[in-house]
Structure 1
């Protein structure tokens, strides 16, 4: 049976097979045919690292490398990222026929996973001036409260991404921080879908929302991008 789960798409990636899939009501790995018929799904073991890998074939479930981003120039592959508040970022250079996908939580974004993804794409023939990046459903600043131990890991130049909320607490703007790092790479375009995983409880899983409600925190949603033959 075809995978019919709902998804969001980015205007900037129009014409590129992709989708930010919703999670509620859908469990398990998605069928890559939901965005690209006959494609193979490539997944990795995400560990909140800054590492990106060039791929040309899927990995066996028990042999997935511990990285948080991928790039490929191999037609017929769909790259998949799982998230539940962190930022899923999908990349494409249409002219070169190279795509990428990154899991950008605050650690990964802060320590370079977005830059690493672009470098892997360039190694495959992409040009950063032709790369489009789209940020999918991510926890919004209003729902991302952090303490000083979090804030002090950032530099003074990053303080614009924090707003004081109450004594000893700040709100962190993860999607704006991710967008800022992407724009600093001088890509062709950066789009933020501006969908809050915490607030959109009828469509997306949120690790923080589940934690606040003492619910199971192991549920995720997938973001996919494929390369047509």
Structure 2
């Protein structure tokens, strides 16, 4: 809005800025860490546009890989770039059979297709039901997909909607959205044309993530810019 030369009044319920992110003082650390959403996905287009606008995009770096460890001492390397990333998607569980790897590849393709062509009933499914629908093998879920879904959506796959999220360790860190509540999220358009809500709790394409918050703001701005200019 400011870039378009508009004057904006922002209403914030809290007495501070930052939304659900808050700074904490830790005496043992020579810094003031921020506590909030901790996962940034590479598909967060609105968030990256915002980071570009404030000049902080360069501080976001994605790890090229990591190591999965099991309680019995087994471990597997995972990679996020190059040809080895394909192997990660096909399944890195030590007990996966060749057939399970083929099933994992097919299920991964189905996941990708349904992300691009979202089924109408997707919001009525738990993440676990979604994985079951596409035929994701249990070993692939244990090694990759279950914890990936948990880290991004902050919701156990057995409980939450595919498009839901919940954080329980920090009250009000985000809202709890389980099956049947997706339709209750407030859209940006209201009966008052100049009043548009924004926040990760509003109706967006994402669960309660940073991308949801920024996407809601982008939609709110688009609605306000559609209004006729006052003389």
- TM-score over 0.5 for the alignment? no
- Higher relative contact order (CA closer than 8 Å, sequence separation 6+): 1
TM-score band (shorter)? under 0.3
Relative to its length, the structure with more strand (as a share) is 1
Higher CA-based Rg: 2
Relative to its length, the structure with more helix (as a share) is 2
